[in-house]
């Protein structure tokens, strides 16, 4: 067989397998979310496609609808649920508020810091950078107890603002490091050319350098957003009534059983905002925006 046929085919097959490995759990999760309970909990066999799809789980978790009574002859209520215990609307709203706000804050603060660290030489710059990064080495669980007390004393416990601050702080080091590397890619001559053209340092920052690293900013924002969107431990400890989606989902695992249908429905729905966000910025995600500024 000619290699011109064989090689692309092989490459295609391998990439297909790799994609399948990554997509399978998500697909199964999504599939579970539209299965009736009888299909989820079938003792005898694994139900793949032969079930009657239902939007019941979404109806309850995402739209806050009432539980429909019986599906497939089995009781749908296995948990010790009060009314609205499976209503995820508040969680979705909280997650969106927290993720968007903390992403914005972390990116904005890290941008200013990263520009300074990339462009200005000052005493202890490297030490400062190392110190900021070292904050990220600490697992959140290590600081959770003092943090709970501090937040309690400051009245930040169980507030959106509190979690926004927590997520922002956790995100800043990684955002700073990333953005600094993007700034470092822009030659300083660009800043100098702008200043000779009559720009102040700040004009040079927001009129020239910032637009040149749009892609980097988008990439950083995506990372911050995803972190905040999926963060669990801080949200769990710092809130009681405000529940972000990851925390909310764990409450679907109760002493009497796990509501796999609801878990997978809310989980699948939770993928969507991140997905939309990435779609919006993906055009900017390509690096190489600085191309053409300098010699090749």
Site membership for other proteins, residue 208 (CB under 8 A)? yes
Of 212, 226, 236, 278, which one interacts with other proteins (CB under 8 A)? 212
CB of 105 to other proteins, least distance (A): 25
Segment lying near other proteins (by CB under 8 A), choices 29-37, 63-71, 103-111, 210-218:
210-218
Segment lying near other proteins (by CB under 8 A), choices 94-102, 103-111, 246-254, 283-291:
283-291
Q: Lay out the site mask for other proteins across 174-203 (x = CB under 8 A, - = otherwise).
A: -------------x-xx-xxxxxxxxx--x
Nearer to other proteins, 73 or 198 (CB): 198
**Both tokens of residue 235?**
């949200």
Burial (Cβ within 10 Å: 0-12, 13-18, ≥19) of residue 164:
buried
CB of 222 to other proteins, least distance (A): 20
Number of residues binding to other proteins, judged by CB under 8 A: 25
Give the count of alpha carbons within 13 A of 46, CB side only: 4
Segment lying near other proteins (by CB under 8 A), choices 160-168, 208-216, 222-230, 241-249:
208-216
Site membership for other proteins, residue 214 (CB under 8 A)? yes
**Both tokens of residue 10?**
């092989």
Nearer to other proteins, 22 or 202 (CB): 202
Give CA–CA dist 263/86, Å, rounded. Answer: 9
Nearer to other proteins, 139 or 198 (CB): 198
Q: Residues interacting with other proteins, by CB under 8 A? A: 187, 189-190, 192-200, 203, 208, 211-212, 214, 289-296
């Amino acid at each position: 067989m000619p290699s011109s046929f064989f090689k692309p085919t092989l490459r295609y097959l391998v990439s297909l397998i790799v994609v399948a490995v990554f997509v399978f759990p998500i697909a199964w999760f999504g599939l579970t979310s539209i299965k009736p309970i009888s299909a989820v909990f079938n003792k005898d066999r694994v139900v793949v496609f032969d079930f009657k799809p239902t939007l019941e789980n979404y109806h309850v978790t995402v739209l806050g609808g009432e539980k429909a009574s019986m599906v497939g002859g089995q009781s749908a209520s296995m948990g010790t649920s009060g009314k609205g215990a499976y209503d995820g609307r508040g969680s979705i709203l909280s997650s969106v508020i927290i993720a968007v706000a903390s992403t914005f804050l972390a990116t904005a603060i890290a941008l200013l810091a990263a520009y300074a660290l990339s462009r200005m030489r000052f005493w202890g710059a490297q030490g400062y950078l190392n110190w900021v990064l070292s904050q990220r080495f600490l697992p959140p669980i290590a600081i959770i107890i003092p943090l709970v007390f501090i937040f309690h004393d400051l009245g930040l416990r169980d507030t959106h603002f509190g979690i926004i601050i927590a997520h922002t702080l956790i995100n800043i080091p990684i955002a700073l490091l990333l953005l600094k590397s993007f700034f470092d890619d822009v030659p300083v001559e660009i800043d100098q050319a702008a200043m000779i053209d009559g720009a102040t340092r700040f004009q040079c920052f927001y009129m020239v350098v910032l637009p040149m690293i749009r892609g980097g900013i988008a990439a950083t924002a995506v990372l911050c957003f995803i972190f905040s969107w999926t963060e669990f431990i801080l949200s769990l400890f710092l809130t009681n009534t405000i529940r972000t989606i990851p925390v909310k989902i764990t409450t679907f695992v109760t002493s009497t059983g796990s509501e796999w249908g609801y878990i997978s429905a809310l989980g699948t729905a939770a993928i969507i905002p991140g997905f939309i966000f990435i779609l919006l910025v993906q055009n900017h995600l390509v690096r190489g925006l600085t191309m053409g500024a300098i010699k090749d």
